[in-house]
Structure 1
Amino acid sequence: MNTSPIQFATLNREHPQLTDKALIDFSNGLEVIGDHIRVRERNNSSFWARLLSQANGESALRQQAIDQNITESLKTVSTWLQYLQNQQIQSDLAIAKVANKLSETRQGVMLLSNKHNALQQEVAQLLLAMDGMDTKYTQLSARLEQVDCGRLASQQIDAVFDKWQAGRLNHYPVLIRLFLVFDELYWGDFGNYCRQSGLQHREIQRLNQQVRDKALIQLKYDWVNSQLPSIAYAWQTDTHFHLQSLATEHREMIAYLTDTAAHKTMPILWIINQLASNTTNTKLLPNINVPIILTAQNTINRFSFDFEARYKHE
């Protein structure tokens, strides 16, 4: 068992989707400014509430707390925007989601600017930073209209499967290798093409079949090479055992990349999250949608079903 610490730069180089997911998770957390503004608007909307707050001194204390929190929130968002502008975001999905979140945040900031003169300078600087991200999003939209998305998707398919065939995922359990391949495709050019054109598009269906065929070929090879049962593989116990032999950072990465999997619609991804998160041999949460045994062909079908549900969710 290798317990040596893994550098984040190494994880990010081997699994580029990791940083893009982290950016989206961070942007989804930018709700604090909106919450503060909603509190202020709710408290100012009622004459009786304002009168009572002034009488008991509650208004001044609450206002002071809100102003302090808003100031800290502005600093956090500003720092985050500076980071985004200095980094090369690889995933179009990440940029699009960040842009949507910035649009919501901008509305809140403009409302804040109109109601709080003391923060006008900070708000102006923040809006300037947002304009920089808007420019990136505009450039992204122009690029998506010009490039041959199908060609880029095909190139990514070849690159990801070359990595698998070259043995660069061999330190992971067999089924986790398949997950990482599908996950990297989801976050990259192949996933962007699927989201743009839709899963029912004829070219998408052709590429999806190509992915399934390539995955089955390589999975069968790994299956035999790892001496897994060909007819009835009790995969959960074996996968859990091998996950516990991974470096902590690798196991935690698997848990992180599957942390949004739905219980019913993505049962395979959900149970992988449970297996990676559970560091003991305690009983896992029940899920009747999770298969007990698998074969190579059934594994491909199951993973494809889960990732199709993931695309539809997006």
Structure 2
Amino acid sequence: MSTLLTEGPARTLECITEKFVVDFAQGIDTARDPWRSPQGMAYYQRLKETFIGQNRLRQWAMDDALLDNLEVSLAWLGQLVGKVAKSHLATALVHERISQMNGASMRVASYSAEARGQLALLKQQLEQRLQKAGKQFEQNNLYLMATVHCEQVFARWGAGHYQAFSPAGRCYVALQELRWGAFGDALRHCPAEQAAQLLEQVRSHAINRLAVDIDASTRTRHFYHQWLSTPPAAGLMEHKDALIWLGNGSDSERQPVSYSVTQTWQGIALGMPRICSAMRLGSAMVDEVFI
């Protein structure tokens, strides 16, 4: 976990720093607004301000035009990739984005020679990191590492680390922790049989933990608002905003449960069951996040 973020949801969620770097890379040199909600955008901006200050980049924030400068943004991304993003997933997604920009720089005259050089260097660094990770995957027991990671994440849930979220929100952030970490690496690189076993492990953990949190059996059905109700706590709105930002990529049709759990500023998706058990809710979220 990065020591840059020591308060709020970021204190207990390792996936936040990884997703932040990917979101920053996705936002470079594009007019596309990826945010569905002002809450998600506001939380991202708070993270951005935190990293600017902690990474001695505060002077860049003095001039809004400078923050929009491509060369400055690429320099910042290089620092974030080197100091903040640790996961293979984050590295792969940033590499994909940089490769797209690198290809565009060959065709678009507006890219400066400095920007082209930065893109090429960053692409090379990311490729080296991915190659190194690939060799480590071959040498390590990914299945064992994933199993340990799964146990750790659900132990944190049981210890109350995600208590400020709704019961369903706790499940979603636990799955995101796994997706961005060693569990997700194993799921993407293990043989199919082992990946299927890992999915059943996390499915069982998610279902059982949800049942414990709502104090019922795994098959007892409850109205959806019981699953989505957030307990009163300090920093309530920041946790809600963080959940909205984490689930920003959820689609109301393809991931109706994740969308309903995270995008609480919107109405419940049609595909979200109005009455559901821990078994149905947990299994659906596992499928939506990992499959």
Question: TM above 0.5, one fold?
Answer: yes
Distance 2:287 2:271 in 1: 12
> Where in structure 2 are the equivalents of 1:1-12 lying within 5 Å?
8-10=5-7, 11-12=9-10
Distance 1:125 1:170 in 2: 42
Q: Compared with structure 1, are the counterparts of its residues 91 and 185 closer, same or farther at alpha carbon in structure 2 (3 Å cutoff)?
A: same
Contiguous gaps of at least 5 residues in structure 1: 1-6, 34-67, 279-283
1:16 aligns with 2:9: no
1:300 aligns with 2:282: yes
Whether the 8 Å CA contact 1:81–1:130 is kept in 2: the answer is no
Q: Deviations over 1:218-261 (max 9, x none)?
A: 3222221xx79974411226624547985222111111111111
Distance 2:69 2:124 in 1: 21
Q: Compared with structure 1, are the counterparts of its residues 109 and 269 closer, same or farther at alpha carbon in structure 2 (3 Å cutoff)?
A: same
Displacement of 1:123:
4.0
Which amino acid in the other structure matches residue 133 of structure 1? Answer: L
1:171 aligns with 2:160: no
Distance 2:151 2:141 in 1: 16
Other-structure match for 1:192: 185
Other-structure match for 2:25: 27
Q: Compared with structure 1, are the counterparts of its residues 232 and 119 closer, same or farther at alpha carbon in structure 2 (3 Å cutoff)?
A: closer
Other-structure match for 2:78: 81
Match of 2:269 among 287, 296, 302: 287
**SS state at 1:288 partner:** coil
Which amino acid in the other structure matches residue 73 of structure 2? Answer: T
Whether the 8 Å CA contact 2:18–2:84 is kept in 1: the answer is no
Distance 1:212 1:125 in 2: 42
1:270 aligns with 2:263: no
Structure index of larger Rg: 1
Q: Deviations over 1:258-285 (max 9, x none)?
A: 111111121111111232xx2xxxxx53
Distance 2:75 2:277 in 1: 50
Q: Deviations over 1:71-100 (max 9, x none)?
A: 932232233223322x14222111011112
1:221 aligns with 2:194: no
Distance 1:272 1:243 in 2: 17
Displacement of 1:145:
2.7
Output the TM-score relative to the length of structure 2.
0.74
Give the number of aligned pairs. Answer: 253
Distance 1:218 1:264 in 2: 26
Q: Compared with structure 1, are the counterparts of its residues 191 and 220 closer, same or farther at alpha carbon in structure 2 (3 Å cutoff)?
A: same
- In the TM superposition, structure 1's runs of 4+ consecutive aligned residues that sit over 4 Å from their partners are 227-230, 243-246
Q: Compared with structure 1, are the counterparts of its residues 303 and 111 closer, same or farther at alpha carbon in structure 2 (3 Å cutoff)?
A: closer
Q: CA RMSD in A?
A: 3.2
Whether the 8 Å CA contact 2:164–2:230 is kept in 1: the answer is no
Q: Compared with structure 1, are the counterparts of its residues 240 and 170 closer, same or farther at alpha carbon in structure 2 (3 Å cutoff)?
A: closer
Distance 1:106 1:127 in 2: 7
**SS state at 1:261 partner:** coil
Whether the 8 Å CA contact 1:109–1:123 is kept in 2: the answer is yes
Q: Compared with structure 1, are the counterparts of its residues 216 and 119 closer, same or farther at alpha carbon in structure 2 (3 Å cutoff)?
A: closer
1:109 aligns with 2:90: no
Match of 1:206 among 172, 197, 217: 197
Distance 1:12 1:245 in 2: 14
Which amino acid in the other structure matches residue 20 of structure 2? Answer: A
Other-structure match for 1:97: 93
Contiguous gaps of at least 5 residues in structure 2: 32-64
Whether the 8 Å CA contact 1:82–1:129 is kept in 2: the answer is no
Output the TM-score relative to the length of structure 1.
0.69
> Where in structure 2 are the equivalents of 1:254-265 lying within 5 Å?
254-265=243-254
**What percentage of residue pairs aligned between the two structures are identical?**
19
Which amino acid in the other structure matches residue 172 of structure 2? Answer: F
Distance 1:218 1:32 in 2: 41
Displacement of 1:212:
2.0
Hey, which of these two has a bigger chunk of helix by percent?
Answer: 1
Distance 2:102 2:195 in 1: 35
Displacement of 1:154:
0.9
**SS state at 1:144 partner:** helix
Q: Compared with structure 1, are the counterparts of its residues 72 and 150 closer, same or farther at alpha carbon in structure 2 (3 Å cutoff)?
A: same
1:253 aligns with 2:231: no
